Structures are given as C-alpha cells and as structure tokens.
Amino acid sequence: MQTKAVRLYGKKDLRLETVELPPIREGEILAHIISDSICMSSYKASAQGPDHKRIPDDVAENPIMIGHEFCGEIVEVGERWKDQFKPGEKFSIQPAMNDPNGPVGILSAPGYSYPYIGGDAQYIVIPEAVMERQCLLPYAGNAFYLGSLAEPMSCVVGAFHANYHTTPGSYEHQMGIVEGGSTAILAGVGPMGLGAIDYAIHGDRKPGLLVVTDIDNDRLNRAASIFTVEEAAKHGVKLMYVNTAEPGKDTNYLKSLTPDGDGFHDVFVFAPVQPLIEQADLILGHDGCLNFFAGPTDPTFKAELNFYNVHYAATHIVGTSGGNTDDMIESLKLMEEGRVDPSTMVTHIGGLDAVIETTLNLPQIPGGKKLIYTGISLPLTPLAKLQAQSDPIMQELGRIVENANGLWSPEAEKFLLENATPIA
C-alpha cells in the first residue's frame, strides 16, 4: 500500500513523499500513525545526516522515515503476533530498542534507521526487531497525543529512577530520589521540567520538599497555575517556586529552604548552563545526587565541581539521556490512570506538511513540544495563537484550549481530527 511520509536523504535533506510500503511478513505489523511529537533529537539527526550515529551511511540511496515519538492504531498483524495484538488496538513505541543486527548496529532505532517505520508518516511497517524486543507497547489512553508523549515522559521517569544514594557502612546504592526528602529542579519550568514537577507530585516516590527555580516570573507563574502549591500539598509535597534572578534568592537562600539548611538530597538540572550546574553542586546536602538532565550540544561543555564534597560529603553525579522500556510502560500506565498529564509539554500543533520546516528549524522555534497529526494539513501553529486565526475551526479549537487552561487536551484532539483538512 501507499503512504505519505517524511524521509531523510542526507544533511538537511527531508522530503515529503508518497512511499510504497511492502506487504508485511509474518513477524511484522502494519500500523496507522495518528500523532508524532517532534524531538530535538530529530533535528540533530536531520542536521547531521549520515554523520549521525543512528543514521545509515547509505541514506541517500535508501532514505529513512523520521520521527520517534509516535502513537497510532494497529491495522494488520503478522501471523507470529496474532495471539498478542489485534487490529484496532492503540500503541506507543519505545525507540531505544538496542538492535545489534539493525542497519547501524545496536544504535538502530525507529525514526532514525529504518526505511518503513517513523512517526512522520501515515502508515508504517513495524519490523520484527521491534516486536522481538517488546518495544511495541499497548496503550489504552483516551488520546493519541498522550501516547506520543510517553517517550519524553519516560525520560523524566528514567531520570528519577537513575538517582541514587549510599548506605553508610555498605557499598550498596539505594536507587531513586529520597522519599520524603528535599528535591530541587533547576530551570524547571520548560516543557520537560513541567513533566518532572508532575511526576514528582504524582509518582509513587515523592519528595517532602520540591523547589522549582527559573529566572522568568511569567514562566514560573504559568507553572504555578498548572501545578499549584495546594495540589502538591494534597499529595504530601511542599512545593515552592523561586525566581533565582531576584535579589537575595541566591544559592544560600535555596539551601536555607531545606530542613535545618542542610541542603538537598536530589537536584535536577534542566538547562545546560555552567553556573546552573555549579549552583546545583553548591546546594547539595550530604549524600546528595546531582542529575544533569539537559543534554549539551557542545562536546567540550564543562563546569566546576567541589571534589572536597565528593570525598567527604559523598556527593555524586548522574546523567540520563532517555528512559528504558519499563519507564515507558510506567509512563503509559500513569497517563491511563490519569495521575500524570504531559499535555503541559505541548505548545504547537501542525500537520504532516509542517514537519520538514519545523524539524529543520526546531532550535529557533520557541516553546515546548511541536505535536504533529499525520493525517491532516496544517501549518505549525502555537496553541496561544489559535483564536487569532481566520479559520473558524481554528478559532473554536482555540476556545477549547483556552477552557483547558491553555493546554492541549483529548477534547481538542478529537475536535481537530474531526474537522481539520485532510492532507492531500
């Protein structure tokens, strides 16, 4: 069958094309993609082309489909998987599948390495390698976009699980944040930071104190309107928002917020900024864990660290760059139960015809996640500007968003899919 898809041919060479999909084999699945959220990783892959570790060297002759944060419905199931999956079921994908026999070896991944599977397409063939590694994940939520956001949400979940603490007199590490302890999220009101606040409040292991910082009052106030101090308190979390650009709100002030001023057990850094990392180091308490969440683009990026405290105060550092399959499953479960809602990450929507321009210019487009619906034609549009559009459908969509505190929602998705212009 034929499908429309955005494919990569080389550095900054993306093309929206009609692609002939091969018939599925007994170990494969045919699927219909509904939504894909565009990740900065896709920008990096598109910019680097075959120089990227996940992109095949022969991409010019054998282009790949891009996009790895996608959700859709199963259409046809190969004989090998008919006992496990049925047509019509919703699914999400774990792209970090570690396929040693893939096009680029173990780094092979959907949205980077394969000719017939990527999120920026209408239909895909899910290869046997994905199935064998249990990376096709059933999803029972009420909106496709939430299934797309399971992957970025899993990165947050994985970061919280990756933190660790020591046991006095033992070499055993206790994994995860300190339950009931003090946690800080620095530069924490961007899209991924909002996901971290949500998980800290509503996940199974919660801090007793959660301090979220930024240097912009508008962003802080927006975060506080979504995740309120009162809501956090209902779950046993004392939530504080701090603008560290204000006089007196320095490192000493942050540390003073912790019990007895002893410092934080867990500090997450959500921006690759040297002074921010150094501040994180300074506010750690004994046996504190610094999680450098934000990935820098500069391979020589450095910051100073107090090694006296590494030796005598048992401070330590961890970095995570994604979640594993268990983190994806946990994210999907939390969304299905209504405990976390990564809708806060979405700031723009668009159709399949908006993918190329959006992907190639992603660093210059402000805001959070750019959510693509692959079956429609729509320029990339900020949620905040929907009501300003001349199209009455977009104006009504803007009213739905406004009524949801400015957030994308299952209701908004349903309205869009029912009323938007299908892509030609």
Judge if 137 and 176 occupy the same domain: no
> CA torsion 40→46→50→56, rounded to 10°?
80
Judge if 111 and 193 occupy the same domain: no
Judge if 275 and 351 occupy the same domain: no
Nearest residue to 187 (alpha-carbon basis) of 68, 274, 112, 99: 274
Judge if 371 and 312 occupy the same domain: no
56, part of any domain: yes
Domain, as residue range, for 362: 2-148+341-381
pLDDT per position as a tens digit, 239-284: 999 999 999 999 999 999 999 999 999 999 999 999 999 999 999 9
Residue 196 φ then ψ, to 5°: -70, -40
* CATH number for 8: 3.90.180.10
118, part of any domain: yes
394, part of any domain: no
- What stretches in the chain show pLDDT beneath 70? none
Judge if 86 and 122 occupy the same domain: yes
pLDDT per position as a tens digit, 46-84: 999 999 999 999 999 999 999 999 999 999 999 999 999
Q: 117 to each of 20, 78, 120, 124, 326, how far by Cα in Å?
A: 12, 16, 9, 5, 22
How many domains, in total, are found in the chain?
A: 2
For the whole model, what pTM was predicted?
A: 0.90
CA distance 300 to 155: 23
Judge if 287 and 242 occupy the same domain: yes
Judge if 140 and 89 occupy the same domain: yes
> CA torsion 253→258→260→266, rounded to 10°?
-120
Chain centroid to CA 293: 12
Residue 14: the pLDDT is: 98
Residue 27: the pLDDT is: 97
* CATH number for 289: 3.40.50.720
Judge if 108 and 52 occupy the same domain: yes
Judge if 109 and 180 occupy the same domain: no
Residue 99: the pLDDT is: 86
Residue 33: the pLDDT is: 98
CA distance 50 to 60: 9
Is the distance from CB of 164 to CB of 174 less than 8 angstroms? yes
- Strand arrangement of the beta sheet that strand 64-65 belongs to: 13-20, 2-10, 64-65
Residue 47: the pLDDT is: 93
Residue 263: the pLDDT is: 97
